[in-house]
Structure 1
Amino acid sequence: MYDYLIVGAGLYGSVFAYEAIKKNKKVLVIDKRDHIGGNIYNENVEGINVHKYGAHIFHTSNEMIWNYVNQFAKFNNYVNSPIANYKGEIYNLPFNMNTFSKMWGVVNPEEALAKIEEQRKEIKGEPKNLEEQAISLVGRDLYEKLINGYTRKQWGRECTELPSFIIKRLPVRFTYNNNYFEDCYQGIPMGGYNSIIEKMLQGADVQLNVDYLANKEELDSKAKKVIYTGPIDAYYGYSLGTLEYRSVRFETEIMEKENYQGNAVVNYTDYETPYTRIIEHKHFEFGTQEKTVISREYSTEWKLGDEPYYPVNDSKNGELYLKYKELADKEEHVIFGGRLGEYKYYDMDKVILSALEMCDKLI
């Protein structure tokens, strides 16, 4: 008999397993995939750690969380400085003085702010949707070139149909600082994320290619409690309805050249380019390999059987999630956690913090 059956060998489940094992608990970790690590899994291709499920850049302002992850790996000093390609025009992200200078020819914060103030006047009152929120933040020009097309591709919906809060976390700064994140700590684990998960799971029994929901009764009988990190609606057989997600399709290519785009992340912000961005993986770890590996990302409408990535956090899905949460809260032996279990977009540091808090509560 195990103390905990952990469904999902991603970051949440692995942190919980590590903490439980430290407290001498017996742990079984299962995953339906053929590898551990969930969406932070790295695949080694031509000596390059490829982020198989999209770019994952660790960043946090929580010193405790930073110290926590550094016990498992040494982090490099990678700084996330993505760029945007709009029909061959290159702009810095996040929106900063380099972006404003390229867009309007302004050279100081006062000139940039005056330009934005002039353009945001078209929005009267509180922004009612994403389009109005974006224009009120950065003006019409930046919205049309760098937000509109990209967002429509990302969400598969017009910007006027999306809620305003999606864009509220968009960084806008009036300095020449290209660092996308404002957190104190940032980097990529040297050698990839797999080594972190492997160390967290030492001492746990791990079984891969196991479908929990297809073998639920048998697996539940093996443990006193279940930590479930899969989709909450799937757990209940979609009995109240299906929560919506956006999914991502990756087109990965090995290239016979040392450097393809000169940056780890390039967003393609015009609507006509079918992919949202290209990741060149070697730049995350300052690689000098003779070849390079790129991944084109295509945002797609999610359907059952696809990998769920981004919750569609509109009011309809929010209300449906709360109904499932009511059911989950009544469970005596099952704990729901992580981005799928809580139907929530989570940065990695927040996933770790959430798992640690649950450990403190339960163990």
Structure 2
Amino acid sequence: MAVDLLVVGAGFAGSVVAERMAAAGKSVVVMDRREHIAGNAYDEPDSRGILIHRYGPHIFHTNSREVFDYLSAFTAWRPYEHRVLAQVEGQLLPIPINLDTVNRLYGLALDEEGLKDYFERVRDPRPEIRTSEDVIVNTVGWDLYRKFYQGYTRKQWGLDPSELFASVASRVPVRTNRDDRYFTDTYQAMPLDGYTAMFSRMLDNPRITLALGEDFRSVRETVSARHIVYTGPVDEYFDSVFGKLPYRSLTFEHEQLPGVATFQPVGTVNYPNDHAYTRITEFKHLTGQEHPDTSIVREYPQATGDPYYPIPRPENDALYARYRELAEKEKGVSFVGRLAQYRYYNMDQVVGAALSAARGLLEGGL
């Protein structure tokens, strides 16, 4: 079978590139080793008809009008602002840390200026911000660091915050007002019919052929493509010639709760210091679905399994740089996405990278 483009991976990166190239008149094969499209964003009704995210919660948010407008061609939206609470010392407190978090935790009655002064008194100033520990203690001091961040980070990454790049902790802001939204992006919404439905519309083009449940190497033997877009782990593409890149994985414990209309007050509750899991998400908060029962998922980080998160450490970046050099020399192949570029991308960032990659391919004459 001869096509213009072979796309490896049917998640955001692969599907966006495939859609753009097919819309430009190119023939495309999209393959994925899983039996479904949508990658880790895949959602489906459980046995009680509750829409769940099989691979953990995916909350869409972006400041990019281009990304939002692009996806809007394939879905209507349900406005949704994600809120997260952390269980700390028997209380459910807002995270990111804000004015209410501090006042309720310590029994204070600070206003915004008072909280700024409080942080200034308790912070441990760092002359240079290099690690995630530096970010937090430099901002809010050691007690809040230990209560909200250290344990969660150790579970999530298997490493102490002092062993991780500052960029990890910088993803979660600290606020001095009462804003309890997890994200502050301009566009915050969930696909009205779910992610899988959105991906189905994206890939609904006669120029796109799906090959699901297929391995890249076997498909490569039967498909002749002018170009390949690879969205899987970059080290795997090169047979881990320099050794495996470290990734953090997850296991998910889904549970149905018959007769329970609401399990928790917000979409996600974090458990930084209790239990082996990091958080519990209740999907009905995210989707707005009305149902007499509810469904939740607990997340357990682990070192082995499907790769989810590149681990941001200097030695890992150095190893990736060697693979990136190979990737840049690989003719006829583009490496796009979180695993292929070994970056901690959000969903909108993956879409942006994929749109850019598709433009580059078309401008390059594919």
TM bucket (normalised to shorter chain) is over 0.9
1:35-74 pair list within 5 angstroms: 35-45=36-46, 46-74=48-76
The farther-off stretch of 47-56 and 336-345 is 47-56
**Identity of aligned pairs, percent?**
38
Distance 1:180 1:206 in 2: 36
Q: Deviations over 1:64-118 (max 9, x none)?
A: 2111111111111110111111242111122111112212313301211121111
**Structure 1 unaligned blocks of 5 or more:** none
- Paired residue secondary structure (1:139): helix
1:11-160 pair list within 5 angstroms: 11-45=12-46, 46-104=48-106, 105-120=108-123, 122-160=124-162
- Paired residue secondary structure (1:132): helix
Q: 1:205 aligns with which of 204, 209, 212?
A: 209
Cross-structure match for 1:333: 332
Distance 1:322 1:328 in 2: 10
Per-residue deviation at 1:336? 0.7
Distance 1:65 1:321 in 2: 27
In structure 2, relative to structure 1, the CA distance for the partners of 1:100 and 1:4 (3 Å cut) is same
- Paired residue secondary structure (1:173): coil
In structure 2, relative to structure 1, the CA distance for the partners of 1:172 and 1:340 (3 Å cut) is same
Contact map agreement 2:10 2:38 (CA 8 A) in 1: yes
Contact map agreement 2:267 2:285 (CA 8 A) in 1: yes
Contact map agreement 1:7 1:226 (CA 8 A) in 2: yes
Per-residue deviation at 1:128? 4.7
Distance 1:98 1:296 in 2: 26
Cross-structure match for 1:9: 10
TM norm structure 2:
0.94
Per-residue deviation at 1:42? 0.2
Per-residue deviation at 1:160? 2.7
Distance 1:65 1:236 in 2: 31
- Are residues 1:261 and 2:261 paired? no
Tell me the amino acid that sits aligned with residue 118 of structure 2.
K
Distance 1:176 1:112 in 2: 11
Per-residue deviation at 1:9? 0.6
Contact map agreement 2:87 2:269 (CA 8 A) in 1: yes
Q: 2:234 aligns with which of 211, 232, 235?
A: 232
Per-residue deviation at 1:216? 5.8
Per-residue deviation at 1:127? 3.8
Distance 1:357 1:128 in 2: 30
In structure 2, relative to structure 1, the CA distance for the partners of 1:39 and 1:133 (3 Å cut) is same
Contact map agreement 1:254 1:294 (CA 8 A) in 2: yes
- Paired residue secondary structure (1:340): coil
Cross-structure match for 2:307: 308
Distance 1:128 1:71 in 2: 41
Contact map agreement 1:61 1:185 (CA 8 A) in 2: yes
Distance 2:113 2:285 in 1: 34
Contact map agreement 2:164 2:312 (CA 8 A) in 1: no
- Are residues 1:352 and 2:356 paired? no
Contact map agreement 2:126 2:134 (CA 8 A) in 1: no
Per-residue deviation at 1:163? 3.0
Contact map agreement 1:49 1:191 (CA 8 A) in 2: no
Distance 2:283 2:90 in 1: 21
Distance 1:269 1:21 in 2: 45
Contact map agreement 1:14 1:200 (CA 8 A) in 2: yes
TM norm structure 1:
0.95
- Paired residue secondary structure (1:338): coil
- Paired residue secondary structure (1:57): coil
Tell me the amino acid that sits aligned with residue 94 of structure 2.
N
Q: Deviations over 1:2-34 (max 9, x none)?
A: 000101011111111111111110011110001
Contact map agreement 2:18 2:203 (CA 8 A) in 1: yes
RMSD of the alignment, in Å?
A: 1.4
Distance 2:245 2:196 in 1: 29
In structure 2, relative to structure 1, the CA distance for the partners of 1:128 and 1:72 (3 Å cut) is closer
Distance 1:347 1:158 in 2: 23
Distance 2:243 2:324 in 1: 13
Per-residue deviation at 1:217? 4.6
Distance 2:228 2:129 in 1: 43
Distance 2:216 2:9 in 1: 9
Per-residue deviation at 1:169? 2.6
Tell me the amino acid that sits aligned with residue 134 of structure 1.
I
Cross-structure match for 1:319: 318
Distance 1:161 1:360 in 2: 37
Distance 2:242 2:152 in 1: 32
